[in-house]
Amino acid sequence: MQSNNEVVFNENKGKWSVRFKQYLKDANGVIRLGKPISILTGPYNQDGTKEIETIFGEKIFNNPKPKELVKYLLSFVFDGAEDTDGIYLDSFAGSGTTAHAILDLNKAGGNRKFILIEMGDYADSITAERVKRVIKGYGEDKKTVPGTGGNFSYYELGEPLMIGDNLNEAVGTNKIREYIWFTETKENFQNPNADKPYYLGSTAQTGYYFFYEPNRACVLDYKFLSTITVKAGNYVIYADRCAINADDLQKLKVIFKKIPRDITKL
């Protein structure tokens, strides 16, 4: 390298530095290869910032992605055909750029859907609010942008069903019953009559029961079985404990599920 004048040693106040010279072509005339800085030449992040300022009248979110970038990524062809009615999941929704891009694309044609997830405390005031304004229209005077149309639903996470290995009583018994029914049947819960407080319902010739009280241990025994008035071919019964042996449960066509051990965790 020294003989080819490709390296230079410099001294400054007793300290040395080494610099390399890199030529476009090597000694054989071959052009030197290099790594591109980026595969994209735009749009740029400052475009995303301008969009936020136009929508909200001020910069209220740091480093938002530009809408046109997301539209470009969503325009890729899947399985040999343009996808105009897919479902797109953004698990880190941020300012809601993905929804904005999809609503824009749908305005030009299509019925794409989006699912946004955001755990930040701005999910309502920024993420959802942006989607609302995009749908209705935003901006003023020359910067007015017509609404895209469309709609969306907004949900917040409730209390966790489980705290460690125990049921979270703050959820409420009705919500737990609804959860049990759905995990067993994948059907919407239709609350039975109040005179059957432990009965969840029946489907596919199976009756489901959730024998649970927050303040006491509930035991599946013959006394409880005698209270069952809705007959079914089989029974699935949740309880804290079971006082009936396995052979008798099989004869009675009863499946015992222990609370909370056997509650399905999604």
Which phi and psi angles does 45 have, rounded to 5°? Answer: -60, -30
Residues 264 and 266: their CA atoms lie apart, in Å, by: 6
How do residues 185-242 score in pLDDT, each as one tens digit? 999 898 767 788 899 999 999 999 999 998 899 999 999 999 999 999 999 999 999 9
Is residue 51 exposed (0-12), middle (13-18) or buried (19+ Cβ within 10 Å)? buried
Which phi and psi angles does 193 have, rounded to 5°? Answer: -65, 155
State the pTM of this model.
Answer: 0.63
Tell me what pLDDT residue 79 has: 59
Residues 221 and 151: their CA atoms lie apart, in Å, by: 51
How do residues 73-112 score in pLDDT, each as one tens digit? 887 766 556 678 889 999 999 999 999 999 999 998 889 9
